[in-house]
Amino acid sequence: MSLMRYMPFEAGLSGADIDLDARTYLAQQVYVKGVAVTATVTYRLDTDGDLTVTLSPSGSGTPAATEWHVSNPSTGIGSDWDVRATVTSGSLTSGSVAWQQISSNRSWTKSLTSFGGSSSVTLTFEFRENGGPGTVLSTTTGVVLTAQII
């Protein structure tokens, strides 16, 4: 389920420009007896509006859309936007939870290196105009990254 909030903004950007879905992404790695292995999920917002999800070594959860911005691909569209990821449960392996401009690709990663098990992080993404008054224009809750060793 995707929860998106749309609010008009006088500078011309709109929450309707954002196209993220709440989904679960699962990376699975097969356990090899006596060897610690790694499973990794990387969720990346590209500066041209693309959404890239990498599941290593394999997994499930293909995005419904392959863009976070409706004008994708549009070189440099990310420079107009700031994004903030908030962890609502679990923990990230890497990725910033501060506001950051999407003037370069921004990514969040969940990894698990182990002899077995599963680890998840649930994220909420907020978007606002870069350099604007700080008004959140769009919110997507329930993006789940899970790394699993089976």
Per-residue pLDDT tens digits for 109-132 = 999 998 788 999 999 999 999 987
Task: Give the 3-state secondary structure of the chain.
Answer: CCCCCCCCCCCCCCHHHECCCCCEEEEEECCECCECEEEEEEEEECCCCEEEEEEECEEECCCCCCECECCCCCCCHHHHEEEEEEEEEECCCECCCCCEECCCCEEEEEEEEECCEEEEEEEEEEEEECCCCCCEEEEEEEEEEEEEEC
Q: Is residue 47 part of a domain?
A: yes
- The answer on pLDDT for 6 being more than 60 is no
Q: Is residue 36 part of a domain?
A: yes
Per-residue pLDDT tens digits for 63-97 = 656 888 887 667 888 999 999 999 999 999 999 99
The boundaries of the domain holding residue 69 are 15-149
Using 50, 70 and 90 to split pLDDT, how confident is the model at 8?
A: very low
pTM for this prediction: 0.83
Q: What is the pLDDT of residue 1?
A: 35
Q: Is residue 127 part of a domain?
A: yes
Task: Count the residues in the chain.
Answer: 150
Average pLDDT, the chain: 84
Q: Is residue 6 part of a domain?
A: no
Handedness of CA 5, 95, 58, 35 (dihedral sign): negative
Q: Is residue 43 part of a domain?
A: yes
Q: Give me the number of domains the chain comprises.
A: 1
How many Å apart are CA 25 and CA 9, to the nearest integer?
32
Q: Is residue 86 part of a domain?
A: yes
CATH number where 83 lies: 2.60.40
Q: Is residue 5 part of a domain?
A: no
Q: Is residue 2 part of a domain?
A: no
How many Å apart are CA 81 and CA 132, to the nearest integer?
9
